[in-house]
Amino acid sequence: IECILVTAEENKIRLTANNMELAIETILEGEIKETGVVALEAKLFLDSIRLLYESDVTISTDDNFLTTIQCEGDEYKISGKSGDDFPELPAVEKNDPLKISCLTFKDIVRQTIFSVSENESNKMMAGELLEVKNNVLSMISLDGHRISIRKTPLKEENSEENEEADAEAANEHRDVSVVVPGKNLDEVSRIIPGEINKDIKLFFTDKHIIFEFENTTVVSRIIEGEYYRVDQMLSNDYETKLKINKKKFLDSVDKATVIVKEGDKKPIIISIEDQSMNIKINSPVASFHGDLEVEKEGQDIMIGFNPKFIKDVLRVVDDETITVYMVNPKAPCTIKNEDESYIYLVLPVNFKTVD
Amino acid sequence: IECILVTAEENKIRLTANNMELAIETILEGEIKETGVVALEAKLFLDSIRLLYESDVTISTDDNFLTTIQCEGDEYKISGKSGDDFPELPAVEKNDPLKISCLTFKDIVRQTIFSVSENESNKMMAGELLEVKNNVLSMISLDGHRISIRKTPLKEENSEENEEADAEAANEHRDVSVVVPGKNLDEVSRIIPGEINKDIKLFFTDKHIIFEFENTTVVSRIIEGEYYRVDQMLSNDYETKLKINKKKFLDSVDKATVIVKEGDKKPIIISIEDQSMNIKINSPVASFHGDLEVEKEGQDIMIGFNPKFIKDVLRVVDDETITVYMVNPKAPCTIKNEDESYIYLVLPVNFKTVD
């Protein structure tokens, strides 16, 4: 059913795609000569549209659902199907929307989605927790090796307009805790416009989360069950605290990993001694070591990591200087900022001490 | 032997790659502490260099050819091999260079290389003819379905400087006719800078063609034997002559081919009737037809083509309006300009007449 349902209604055209995991609907304005519905093979429909001149397009179907797409001197005819067997958008009751800037939402998804587990055998890990508590939105993912947390306060965008009225009430959103399939969240975030001044609305039902932005509505199923108690996995204890220039740290890990393949599972070994960090990696045919200045409090340490996990975090942190907390070579290391709007935990890996 | 030979000589560093088909050497300036040579695995060497800071790099080897690459706080160690077994650039005698702008040469290779045969069982078709006759450089390729020809006059770049001196002599280059393996020509053209004001020098020996530009020398073997008599395949006869807006023609063929896969071998069918061209393609699930205005002399015609062959030509012709000559649905169609600095022949394909 990789089809797009094209529905011509009074004064508008509705495009619907639904793979039972995720349903997307978008509304277009258009001149409707006759209402009707047809299901078109998605890729073929897209291909037929995408090279047309920027001009008016006419779409019509005959009794056999053969669909004609006309634009200037060009005409495609593509086979369609009856829309009858095609699932519409699930009927969901929408109330009490959570409003947030499109860009902010897109960002926090990007900054957490990478640690959703790719192994789908664990249903809960294949999802990402979206939580609202005390008017703060948290997005949390974990895959058994690492945890990513992003928090953002919810603000009433229009607070200036209705400052006096029900500002207090409008500011508050009821508490929410849903687990959204990572794949769906990824798909949605791709089509959300990256604009700070446009809002996305989220609605929650027992079985679904609904995303509304511009003329588009997306309905995703949610994963039923209780998510991990991530709070219990966090700790403020540390033996070593480092401040590091993020770009130089990322550059250094990138340089280390060019000589290994991702499948090699070679750890990077990080040694902290005084105010200097040494990053080392070994492969059968080459080795790398790089020195970086750091600002250290506490103990020296030598600890190994899967370099991909470190890179994933460093790529999505925007701060120029990051703070890293470590306990010992077997305990997770934490990268977080002062107000904990982001917290990343990465488990270390064993490494044979090499010279 | 996917190695790069690094040779530290007095005051210069020589990098050599040689896969027996093609040898490339480039010279770098550097401070040499000790002369010597080492062979380094090419990809590993490149990877070790490419992320380093833009700063001075120190390369040193020990007795076991273990090579250390240092830059700022970073250090790679990679295993090397003795350079002894590694082929140097073949010794070739260079005289009487053909000089041409790098950009011009790069362009005419790009504009002809696509019709070199990918089937290497036919040695000659896997090469491209480079010919100098009457001080005109021609590049010609063919694959049994099409022929591409580009010609460019050779000019003495420095003619103004030594106008009075041996201008006449300097202007003339002896006639040349060599067949260069298409793959090699493609590789060379990728590394030639796309600059109009820089020259590339070509040298010819019995077995090799040598390309010299900037600090780089490339030696390619040539294919021995006689190339096809392409002159005999060309004709000025036609029944239909068309002038078409190139961009619109290409757009239309692109639109036609989005609904078919390249493996489908579906022809585009071009019908010329009066001053209009109709382009049509059919697949099991879709069809396209597009109308274009043309300026026609001669007969109406209906003719089928492999759309890829038409696109390949239209993509490399820079003219806004192109002229197409056709004879009948079984004879090659010719796209050429007035002074014949380019000539493209494309054989038509059979097509079942569909409505």
- Each residue of A139-191: pLDDT tens digit? 999 999 999 999 999 976 444 444 444 444 455 788 999 999 999 999 999 99
The Cβ of residue A2 has, within 10 Å, a number of other Cβ atoms equal to 9
**What pLDDT score was predicted for residue B91?**
85
For residue B41, list chain A residues with Cβ-Cβ distance below 8 A: 285
Residue from B285, B292, B355 to probe the interface with A (highest A Cβ count within 10 Å): B285
pLDDT of res. B156: 61
- Give the integer Cα–Cα distance in Å for A80 and B349: 30
Residues of chain A with Cβ-Cβ distance to B244 below 8 Å are none
Q: Do A285 and A301 touch, CB atoms closer than 8 A?
A: no
Residue-level length of chain A: 355
CA distance B192 to B199: 10
Section A195-223 average pLDDT:
96
Cα–Cα distance between B258 and B254 in angstroms, integer? Answer: 6
Q: Which of B89, B87, B65 is nearest to B77 (CA)?
A: B65
pLDDT > 90: percent of chain B? 84
- Banded model confidence at residue B335, pLDDT cuts 50, 70, 90: very high
B56-67 pLDDT, tens per residue?
A: 999 999 999 999
Residue-wise pLDDT tens digits, B149-170: 999 999 764 444 444 444 444 5
Rounded to two decimals, the ipTM of the complex is: 0.87
Task: Answer whether B286 sits within 8 Å of A76, measured CB to CB.
Answer: yes
The answer to whether the Cβ–Cβ distance between B51 and A258 falls below 8 Å is yes
Q: How many contacts does A have with B, using Cβ atoms within 8 A?
A: 81
Is the per-residue pLDDT at A126 higher than 80?
Answer: yes
Whole-prediction pTM value?
0.89
Q: What is the pLDDT of residues B73-97, one digit of tens each?
A: 999 999 999 998 888 888 888 888 9
- What span, in angstroms and rounded, lies between the C-alpha atoms of A258 and A233? 33
Q: How far apart are CA A178 and CA A227, in angstroms?
A: 8
Residues B110 and B104: their CA atoms lie apart, in Å, by 10
Q: Chain A residues with CB inside 8 Å of B290's CB?
A: 73-75
What are the chain A neighbours of B286 within 8 Å (beta carbons)? 44, 48, 76-79
User: Poorest-confidence range of A121-125, A254-258, B4-8, B218-222?
Assistant: A121-125
Terminal C-alpha separation, chain A: 57
Residue A64, SS3? Answer: coil
Question: B69 to chain A: nearest residue by CA?
Answer: A288
Judging contacts by C-beta atoms under 8 Å, the chain A residues touching residue B52 are 255
Interchain pair B289, A44: CB under 8 A: no
C-beta neighbour count of A72 within 10 angstroms: 13
What's the pLDDT tens digit per position in B261-282?
Answer: 878 889 999 999 999 999 999 9
Tens of pLDDT, residue by residue over A15-36, are: 999 988 899 999 999 999 999 9
pLDDT given for residue B272 in this prediction: 97
Beta bridge partners of B12: B9, B29
Nearest CA in chain A to B292: A73
